[in-house]
Chain A
Amino acid sequence: MYSEKVMDHFTNPRNVGEIDNASGVGTVGNAKCGDIMRIYLDITEEGVINDVKFKTFGCGAAVATSSMATELVKGKTVQEALQITNKAVMEALDGLPPVKVHCSLLAEEAIHAALWDYAEKMNIKIEGLSKPKSDIHDGEEEVEY
């Protein structure tokens, strides 16, 4: 069901953990749908993501997308990190089953939420970043059988 890359990032997830006194922390998702992601960012004075950690409650795809998203933003500037889309995360993982695409959206959203938290703490405005939705599943329609 999952690609080898997804399985690799699920079984050996990169950057699991927490960062004390992180520059920004973002938590997204909800327990109803079974996915919650939290991303911690350590950002230098020059605006470079020096370190990133994550914690995820969710399925194999949720863990793998979190892991991949943290790999993709590590070492990037805030502006570069902002450009990383869920599509990029999916491509880096060699694709996801259709029913799991929302996991990659959640990973993108988690990065944005952590950046938003950083901007608020620093009292700065990041070009192109809007306040993250509290629940990315709002407005989704029920599956009909």
Chain B
Amino acid sequence: MDKKIYLDNAATTKTRPEVVDAMLPYFTELFGNPSSVYEYAAQNKKVVDEARGIIGNALGAETAEIYFTAGGSESDNWALKATIDAYADKGNHIITSKIEHHAILHTCEYLEKHGVEVTYIDVDENGILKLDQLEKAIRPTTILISIMFANNEIGTMQPIKEIGEIAKKHNILFHTDAVQAFGQVPINVNDLNIDMLSASAHKLNGPKGIGFLYIRKGVKIRSFVHGGAQERQRRAGTENVPAIVGFGKATQIAMDTMEERIDIEIKLRNLLMKRILEEVPYARVNGDKVRRLPNNINVCFQFIEGESLLIMLDMKNICASSGSACTSGSLDPSHVLLAIGLPHEVAHGSLRLTLNHENTEEEINYTVDQIKEIVDKLRKMSPLYEDFTRKR
């Protein structure tokens, strides 16, 4: 196939043309700083708040509870570090999970070096948080529970409502990294007892470099980036007006099209999953079958290694991922796949395919055909496969 087949939408998505169109005027004729007094610039304050309103609405939150940041990682850092600062009188203990994104895990490791205590809760073989372990981990000094909404590698969606109830019952703040879930599945912060939520525009066909942190009214965390009085004095820096406008537009479209996109993605995903499991021997699907993002497939092919598979797929014009893109450069396989109990050599052979509404059945069928050939080729080279076939 000459056309590029993009199956890495959990890494980033294509910015929708309507979003780009909405953004463009704010680079040129409407370039003003929203903090300026003169009328044409001050109007930009209005468009920023309109975008804020669209996002608040999408979460069932109030407009004033949405704070723009430079992306998901900043939002995660802010939520954790500022909570530790603001609630130091109450305690210094955070509870999170073993399968969080590195924006959470590495922030926790940083905080541990500064005297903060962190408990990392296990997940089951499908990646679902062990709720009994969560409840047992709570101490009088616990000030925050941070559990991701949906996992970026295996797509498992956590029992967020139950976690929110546990947090509320014990009067502990609940933050969720919803970078993979916002705009993809319905979220209501009030129904789910969420106190803080991180998200990023480029995962829902918006621009890169813009995210937000939802902070429930009454949560007293302070500024993480110091300077001017933007974002009601909680996040300094001249607003990234074009990106904020784009984020608002992308959110609006994501909410309006959510149902039909979910239908398309689930149909394609089921086709992909069915064909792989039926036609490629020694393959297993990782993550929960039901509680799962509509567009995510994560599969391990025994006896082969993921990077080889990715390079060969790339040569066939298929863009995919093995574990988290952030994991590459390290020799260790994905911490998520190890946490769900996979042995190292199986975890090394993982492939993540994340679809979007623009993918077609033809693309999916072509991809499976290529995967079959490549897996076969790599297995013929694999000493692990040789040992396995000899033993049989």
Contact = CB atoms under 8 A, between A and B. Distances in A.
Contact of A57 (B312, B315, B384): B384
A55 B381 CA distance: 5
A38 B383 contact: yes
Contacts of A7: 311
B381 A56 contact: yes
Main SS at interface, chain A: mixed
Interface stretch (A10-18, A42-50, A78-86, A121-129): A10-18
A38 B383 CA distance: 7
Interface of B: 102, 106, 109, 303-305, 307-308, 311-312, 315, 329-333, 343-345, 348, 380-386
B386 A63 contact: no
Given A16-B381, A31-B384, A145 B109 contact: yes
Interface string A25-40: 0010001111111100
A132 interface: no
Contact of A55 (B102, B307, B312, B382): B382
Given A31-B344, A31-B348, A34-B344, A56 B330 contact: no
Contacts of A143: 330-331
B303 A57 contact: yes
Contact of A58 (B305, B332, B385): B305
A38 B345 contact: no
A7 B307 CA distance: 13
A34 B384 contact: no
A57 B329 contact: no
Given A31-B344, A99-B329, A36 B308 contact: no
Contacts of B386: 18, 38, 55
Given A58-B305, A59-B308, A60-B307, A37 B383 contact: yes
A37 B324 CA distance: 25
Main SS at interface, chain B: helix
A30 to B, nearest CB: 8
Given A31-B345, A99-B329, A59 B382 contact: no
Contacts of A35: 305
Contact of B383 (A10, A13, A34, A56): A56
A18 B383 CA distance: 10
Highest count of chain B CB atoms <10 Å: which of A32, A33, A57, A58: A57
B305 A59 contact: yes
Contacts of A63: 308, 381
User: How many A residues are at the interface, by size bracket?
Assistant: 20 to 34
Highest count of chain B CB atoms <10 Å: which of A33, A38, A58, A99: A58
A106 to B, nearest CB: 12
Contact of B311 (A10, A18, A37, A145): A10
A11 B385 CA distance: 19
Contacts of A99: 329, 331
Contacts of A10: 308, 311
Interface string A1-22: 0100001001101001010000
A16 B304 CA distance: 15
B234 to A, nearest CB: 27
B305 A16 contact: no
A56 B307 contact: no
Interface string A81-125: 000000000000000000100100000000000000000000000
A56 B386 CA distance: 10
A16 B106 CA distance: 41
Given A145-B106, A145-B109, A36 B383 contact: yes
A60 B306 CA distance: 10
